[in-house]
Structure 1
Amino acid sequence: MMSTVVKQFSTPGHSNELVKDWIGDVRDLAHRVEDVMDKYSYHALKLEEENTMKKFFSKAYYVTVFSEIADEIIQIEKKIENVVKRRDRWLQLPHLIPNPLADIERKQPHSNFQEVVQADIVGIEDNRRQTYGLVDLLRKMLRKIGDQEHSQLMDLDTHDLEVKIKERLSGGNCLLVLDDVWNREAYTQIIDVFRNLQASRVIITTRQKHVATLAQPRHQLKLKPLEHNDAFNLFCRKAFYNCMECKCPQNLEKLAKAIVDRCQGLPLAIVSIGGMMSSLPATEYVWNETYNQLRGELANNDHLRAILNLSYHNTHGELRNCFLYCGLFPEDHEFSRESLVRLWVAEGFAFPKEQSTAEEVADRYLRELIQRNMLEVVENDELGRVSTCKMHDLVRDLVLSIAKEEKYGSAIDFSSMSHMDKDVRRLSSCGWKDKNAVKAKFPCLRTLVALGIIVSPSQLLSPILSESHYLTVLELQDSEITEVPASIGNLFNLRYIGLHRTRVKSLPESIGKLSNLLTLDIKQTKIEKLP
């Protein structure tokens, strides 16, 4: 019940501080309920596993533990009563009415969200805020242009990777796209690989003037906001993609143009709100309500953030969870459709509905986010289905701010981990190194995303796993770890383990104890058999 309330009413969408505080208290209570349930399950399982003799000597310990759990339940019940009284006494009913547009949208048939086929130029992007570095970038490039397996690339240093790339590209034409570059160093690090390839051409996109000066003035192209007609046509292609020639209905043309004017010619703003409008009924009432909401957002935010906020607020609870989840991964991270769907199922964001499996529901959520331009397609498979996707960096900035305010989760640098809130429930911290020691404890942690770590499991993973008893998702993709700690078998709640493209050679016998495990991703590892 409380989780449903938290999903339905998003904190940033309410200006009333009483409502925000109340929602925050409901969220904290939902977390406490989840914690006490998991605590009971954990100790009940431990008690069941112990032999008769050990149970006898541990009796006093378990009496104390279960008494503490009973006391915690009593405290929670009192808190719930208090929250209900506050709602009835101080909060007006209109504040707690679900967003009418989001409610209308939930009633729309699923056929509104068809598979969208897009053609993309795939380039190597600037990983300015990622911690993988040049070596990982070169490995990624080789996987794009060559046939090398991940395991063959892991032992190559920067020089060897550069040589292989030059060999692969020699004698051919090459177009290198460096997207959204923020500093000149990102360019100079990668350009040496292509310097002597006569047929090579480089395209840089940037928001920084000093980066643009890398090109001669005659080769610099400063982008301007879209003209009104172009902006309107782009909006119509998104909002009315199901209509003949993507034409705007005459009764909505005035409102559509007013919405487009508010976007100030910014393509991301236009496609974001256009994607959102495509999911709503094409009626003057609904569109007018949306326009009024947009004006309200514009009063408190810049144009782009206002539109992204509006798009977020007009989604249902499950979709919000899926959307926020993507922001926990590093900037420009490319999500495999298969992995993302399984992660959402493991997190409990997608459940079987009617005749659909949980995976099919999650897949529908993915198509919906893409249709709304909240996620971008990177590649499609041979059947035209989404293969990989990613989140725009500006959209991710919004996601991280919402995730922080709603206590959804945190994406931090490894160096900041010791200062992290110990009650964090979802944590993303990539690029761990041996020289940094983990001293923080996260007893409430449910999700750990640690991509690209260069680490000794005993030094870094083991301490966290031994403290985070209720962990549900462990994602270690692209890490150079060679083993998985045996203590992983104690994580009774674990539903997803991601070891894709790691150096792990074998799994501990204890992994067989994980009765709730739904996904074990060992693709492109050195694991030859399961325990």
Structure 2
Amino acid sequence: MASASITFVLNRLGELAVKEAALLRGVDDDIRLLRDKLEWLQTFIQHADQERRTGANKYIGLWVRQTRDVAYEVEDVLDEFLRKADLERLGLPEWKKWLKFATTCTTQVSVRHVLRDKMDSIKNRLKEISDNVDKYKIEQLQSSTSSAQNPTNSAAASWDEENEVFGFEEELKALNSQLLEGDKKRSVIAIVGESGIGKSTLAWKVYDSPDIRRHFDQRVSINIPPHIRDTDILYFIYNRLRPDAHDEKPSTIQEVHTALSSHLKGKRYLVMVDGLVNFTNWNSVLHGLPDNGNSSRIMIITRLEDKEAAYADPKVLPLKINYLDENGCKELFYHKIFGVKNKSHDKDFWSKSLRLLHKASLWQLWSLPGKEEENLKKIYEEIFEITQGLPLAIVVLSGFLRTKNFTEWDKVLSQLRTSEKSKRVKRILALCFDDLPSRLKSCFLYFAGMPENLIFNARHIVRLWVAEGFLKPKKGKTMEDIGQSYLKELISRGMINLVRKDPSGGVWLVTIHDRLHAFAQSEAHEESFLEVHDNADLLTPNSVRRLCLQNYMQSHVPMDTSFPKLRSILCDFSEERANNLVKNQGEHNGLRYHDLQFLPKSKFLRVIDLRGMRIRKVPNAIGNMVHIRYMGIRSSSLAELPSSIGRLINLQTLDIKRSRVKNVTQTFWEIPTLRHVVANRLNFPKSVGVLSNMQTLTGLVCSDPWEKSISPLHHMVYLRHLEISGLTSDHWEALADAFKKLESLVYLHLAAKSSDVKIPFNMLTEFTLQRLQVLELYGAINMSDTDIEERYTLPNLNRLVLKLSMVNQTFMNRIGELPSLKELVLSENSYDGSELRFSDSGFNSVTNLVMADLKDLHEWTIRPMSIPMIKRIALSGFSKLKIKLEGHDGAKCPKDLMANLEEVVVCNMHEDMIIEPADSGFSEKINKVAIKTKSEDIMDAALRAGRWRESMVAGNMYQY
């Protein structure tokens, strides 16, 4: 990992030489020599870093640590130099900023003199470290260490494989039986087994199955961090069941119990809890989940032993998941290597394996002709012997081997064969980590600072990586694109798990296995890369460079410690739950708020990401922290930001999603480095600077009219995500003109200010927005100026959401022709008519359809060639609805009309639907859900069906 630290510093030196050439005149030779020396050290340190982990020679560890410390010292010197330079330039007109610093001799000489002295000191220390290499014969040891593995084949091509269950057929049957059959009383099923055995994969396979979805009236799943109050488990469950009940949230523990009992009364429900580590107050959790005598079930995924887990329900034996047998191991390894599913006992298995090896360019003959199949069988046997059938070990090892030529496999496996059996999994993880390029190592270790057992938004992670400086620029690609490729590489190697892809096919939601998470935390702590704690009372705060504070047990964590070397602070606290449980105690309820006075003491901070902290205001001194690139403060108590944030000249991301901030200073909108602004309801001024790097604007409200064709969006040519509300007739002309320049836009959400404001649809049909993939229109749509006979020109649109749109049948016929549309949502009053007809030529690619709260719609006709690819339909809020399924030429509808249809979710329906013909097979797919909620949540629930697992996210964690 020391090599990654050196790589990062070398990158900073390179950027400094290019961007700050005027500042470095006179010390550029010193920086060049320092960079050369660090490059040489980096080459040697890559080998020593691996040897250091084994602990075979204490000198190796000392040498690695000292070299890393020097790299950190170089970083400190550079950051102090740049901080002084930036502060000197702040507040000056643009043309004076460089002139003053470049020509003012006093400042120039003073700063450079200090820089040169520190560089000399660092060079002397590097010389001493180099001398110690010869003195203690460390270089000789290097030659005997295994050479660093360098990937020869890209693994990223297989990053999006779905998780499959192999070798657990009996366990699947047993779990299904426990959920669907047995006692009418509510029961608790504990799924136990070693970490990495596949408990969650197995549980989700069953949880998402059509049989389970049809059997239970209500399903809910939550992922919880290891250390959490039991009462909060109930709070999370209620939040997942009633996401729309913002004004009805229970405010006391008793109210949580009462609300849950009331909501679930009489319903057959399934609750799945992943991550439970103790049953200290388990009875209090059960007390909030009523026993309705209708076979309700609670499913727990835990690492506890059988005897401990049995406490959950003494009458039900825990379901223990064991290691894969040899056939299961072969199947999983085969799937992960080749990306296809096959049975290891098939007679053509070996020939298929050999063909795929050749096709993937993995196979190179390393034995006598005719021995290929024999050697391949030997490989499978070795994989089973090394991993002992542990799925996690198989997944990570196959991800590693996929990057190598077949000739290298034997060398890798021989290293693992010689390891102790009890340490082989850790050795596999270490081997895979050592094989990562230096930049990917830093990115992987960053997951050590994320809460365990939760799901994370990939965009959020990539923005943090960009702010940290981990990513290497590539011509023709944005830093966000590069971050996506890094994530795909980690996913393909099995070190990060893909949860969901975004509409464009990129990475959206990810998670990390708890065993890999523990390895990342251990490695990050050992290398002083990052520290994770539950409070700020650290023994050595002066040396901490990245700090992660996570505490879900206490309502307030003191933050008075000073961290002079701190670059990043990531916090996740329990503000939301604590606030709700005391909110009825009045305005002065005794809650303590963080004043953030510790932040200005950390002058090198680049990343501030605070979630769940109770914050009323941000200190004005934040404006002097000119290194800040990422500022995220998600606190429901934050109502304003100081005007000094306009001085953060390097700021890339502002994330105030859950705050009450409505305005920021005008100078903020002139920071040229801005890339992402994520807010709740932030007023968008009519005039901004040249924000040519802007990519994300969400949660914005248009508070001022725009003048004709002039809008604040015109220079944002790289904008990808735009969510804007409060639109009136004063905005349409400028918005339409801006769309001609926003060629990179992939997500667009437009909301009219009021019901009498109509969205002119013609601005979306004039060959603009060719890359748009998601379109959400909230408000009446004006089609009076649109040539209805023209084809709508949104060739890549795959998700369309309409609300309050009042469109007609002609409009539906035209959007049915969109070639890439996969998800269609017709929400509250989005259709104006009592009859809706899907014609033969319409919606040929749609797989997910939601229709909710269309109060005037009474008859829906589906022609035989329409929606042929449909998989899921959700219907909600109809007083009555007749569905007519037509055959060819009016004939009776054949049963295979919708051969791909898996499920029809029906909820909030007062009367049964009428389906004609009744024997069409449509009725057999209906799953009636007893739930009362808003149409938006029905929409989300329906589109999250199948393997979309963001419902695992608990409370105020990292999903957004």
Give the TM-score category using the shorter length.
0.7 to 0.9
- 1:396 is matched with 517
Task: Return the alpha-carbon distance in structure 2 between the equivalents of residues 223 and 64 of structure 1.
Answer: 67
Q: Which residue number corresponds to residue 86 of structure 1? A: 132
Give the whole-Å Cα distance in 1 for the aligned partners of 2:641 and 2:271: 40
Q: Quick one: distance in 2 between partners of 1:101 and 1:253?
A: 27
1: CA distance, partners of 2:249 / 2:601: 31
Matched, 1:241 2:363: no
TM-score, structure 1 normalization:
0.85
Letter of the structure 2 residue corresponding to residue 390 of structure 1 = T
Q: Are the structure 2 counterparts of residues 450 and 527 from structure 1 closer, same or farther at C-alpha, using a change threshold of 3 Å?
A: same
Aligned match of 1:39: 80
What's 2:642 paired with?
Answer: 508
- Pair 111,65 (structure 1): closer, same or farther in 2 beyond 3 Å: closer
**Structure 1 residues 483 and 117 mapped into 2: Cα distance closer, same or farther (>3 Å)?**
farther
Counterpart of 2:285 (choices 185, 190, 198) is 190
Classify the secondary structure of the residue corresponding to 2:550.
Answer: coil
> Counterparts in 2 of 1:334-413, with a 5 A limit?
334-381=455-502, 385-413=506-534
**1:174 and 1:108 mapped to 2: Cα distance?**
47
Letter in 2 for 1:71: D
Correspondence for 1:523 among 649, 657, 680: 657
Is the contact between residue 225 and residue 454 of structure 2 (CA under 8 Å) also seen in structure 1? no
Amino acid at match of 2:290: R
SS in 2 for 1:419: coil
Q: 1:413 to 1:369 in 2, by over 3 A?
A: same
- What SS does structure 2 have at the residue aligned with 1:322? helix
SS of aligned partner of 1:237: helix
Query: After alignment, is 391-400 or 197-206 more displaced?
Result: 197-206
1:157 Cα deviation after fit: 3.9
Equivalent in the alignment of 1:431:
551
Output the TM-score relative to the length of structure 2. Answer: 0.49
SS state at 1:276 partner: helix
- How far is the alpha carbon of 1:171 from its aligned partner? 5.0
Q: What is the distance in 2 between the residues matched to 1:518 and 1:99?
A: 41
Amino acid at match of 2:60: V
* 1:342 Cα deviation after fit: 0.8
Q: CA deviation at 1:504?
A: 1.9
The structural deviation recorded for 1:291 is: 0.6
| Aligned counterpart, 2:309 | 211
**Cα-to-partner distance string for 1:240-277 (whole Å, 9 max, x where unaligned):** 21698895433433123202211112222222212222
Partners in 1 of 2:145 and 2:163 — Cα distance? 34
Contact 1:134 1:158 in 2 (8 A): no
Alignment of structure 1 residues 259-298 onto 2, 5 Å: 259-281=383-405, 283=406, 285-296=407-418, 298=419
Pairing 1:71–2:127 present: no
CA contact (8 A) 1:181 1:211 kept: no
Worse-matched range after superposition: 157-166 or 392-401: 157-166
User: Aligned with 1:178: secondary structure?
Assistant: strand
The 3-state SS of whatever aligns with 1:128 is coil
Q: Given the alignment, which residue of 316, 323, 331 partners 1:225? A: 323
Give, in angstroms, the shift of residue 339 of structure 1. Answer: 0.3
Pick aligned residue for 1:102 from 149, 152, 171? 149
Structure 1 residue 159: Cα displacement? 3.8
**SS of corresponding position for 1:389:** strand
Does 1 or 2 have the higher relative contact order (CA < 8 Å, sep 6+)? 1
CA deviation after TM superposition for structure 1 residue 92, in Å: 2.5
Are the equivalent residues in 2 in contact too, given 1:11–1:406 (CA < 8 A)? Answer: no
Cα deviation for residue 194 of structure 1 reads: 1.5
**Structure 1 residues 418, 477: CA separation in 2 closer, same or farther (over 3 Å shift)?**
same
Structure 1 equivalent of residue 160 of structure 2 = 115
From 297, 305, 320, give the equivalent of 1:201: 297
CA contact (8 A) 2:628 2:651 kept: yes
- Residue 428 of structure 1, CA deviation: 0.7
1:257 aligns with 2:385: no
**Residues 31 and 145 of structure 1: CA distance in aligned 2, closer, same or farther (over 3 Å):** same
AA at the equivalent of 2:648: L
Say if 1:453 and 1:480, in contact at 8 Å, map to a contact too.
no
CA distance in 2, matches of 1:235, 1:333: 26
Name the stretch that deviates more: 211-220 or 36-45.
211-220
CA distance change for structure 1 residues 503 and 134 in 2, over 3 Å: closer, same or farther?
farther
- Structure index of larger Rg: 2
Q: CA separation of 1:267/1:509 partners in 2, compared to 1, >3 Å: closer, same or farther? A: same
**Counterpart amino acid of 2:75?**
E
Tell me, what secondary structure is at the counterpart of 2:444? helix
Distance 1:84 1:306, change over 3 A: same
Q: Distance in 2 between matches of 1:286 and 1:183?
A: 44
Q: Please state how far the C-alpha of 1:111 moved relative to its aligned partner.
A: 5.0
Q: Is the contact made by 2:594 and 2:613 (CA closer than 8 Å) also made in structure 1?
A: no
With over 3 angstroms needed to count, the CA separation of the structure-2 counterparts of 1:267 and 1:99, relative to structure 1, is: same
Identify the range of structure 1 (459-468 vs 113-122) with the bigger mean alpha-carbon deviation: 113-122
Q: 179, 190, 193: which one pairs with 2:274?
A: 179
SS across alignment from 2:300? strand
One-letter amino acid of the counterpart of residue 611, structure 2: Q
Aligned-pair distance for 1:71? 3.0
Look up the equivalent residue of 2:436 and give its one-letter code: T
8 Å CA contact 1:117, 1:380 repeated in 2: no
> Conserved in 1, the CA contact under 8 Å of 2:226 and 2:453?
no
The letter for the 2-side match of 1:108 is N
Using the alignment, how far apart are the partners of 1:274 and 1:368 within structure 2? 13
Distance 1:64 1:439, change over 3 A: farther
Maintained 8 Å contact 1:269/1:304: yes
> 2-side partners of 1:145 and 1:291: how far apart?
48
Evaluate the alpha carbon distance shift between residue 238 and residue 60 of structure 1 in structure 2; reply closer, same or farther with a 3 A threshold: same
Aligned Cα RMSD in Å? 3.6
Instruction: Specify which of 633, 644, 668 is matched with residue 499 of structure 1.
Output: 633
Distance 1:18 1:522, change over 3 A: same
Pair 1:197–1:463, CA change in 2 (3 A): farther
Which residue among 333, 336, 346 is the counterpart of 2:454?
333
Residue identity matched to 2:336: K
C-alpha displacement at 1:350, in angstroms?
A: 1.3
Q: 1:471 aligns with which of 605, 627, 651?
A: 605
Does residue 29 in structure 1 map to residue 153 in structure 2? Answer: no
Query: What amino acid is aligned across from residue 334 of structure 2 in structure 1?
Result: C
Matched, 1:487 2:621: yes
Looking at structure 1, the residues matched to 541 and 381 of structure 2 have their Cα atoms a distance apart, in angstroms, of 45
Deviates more, 1:361-370 or 1:334-343: 361-370
CA contact (8 A) 2:456 2:510 kept: yes
User: Deviation of residue 457 (structure 1)?
Assistant: 12
| Pair 194,155 (structure 1): closer, same or farther in 2 beyond 3 Å | closer
Task: Show the counterpart of 2:680.
Answer: none
Q: Secondary structure of 1:219's match?
A: coil
Q: Which has the higher helix share?
A: 1
Task: Say which is worse superposed, 376-385 or 227-236, in terms of deviation.
Answer: 376-385
Separation in structure 1 between the aligned mates of residue 240 and residue 617 of structure 2, nearest angstrom: 27
CA deviation digits over 1:20-54, x for unaligned, max 9? 32222221011001101111222333344599xxx
Partner of 1:26, secondary structure, is helix
Secondary structure of 1:499's counterpart equals strand
Distance in 2, matches of 1:168 and 1:483, equals 37
SS in 2 for 1:462: coil
Q: Does the 8 A contact of 1:482 with 1:505 survive in 2?
A: yes
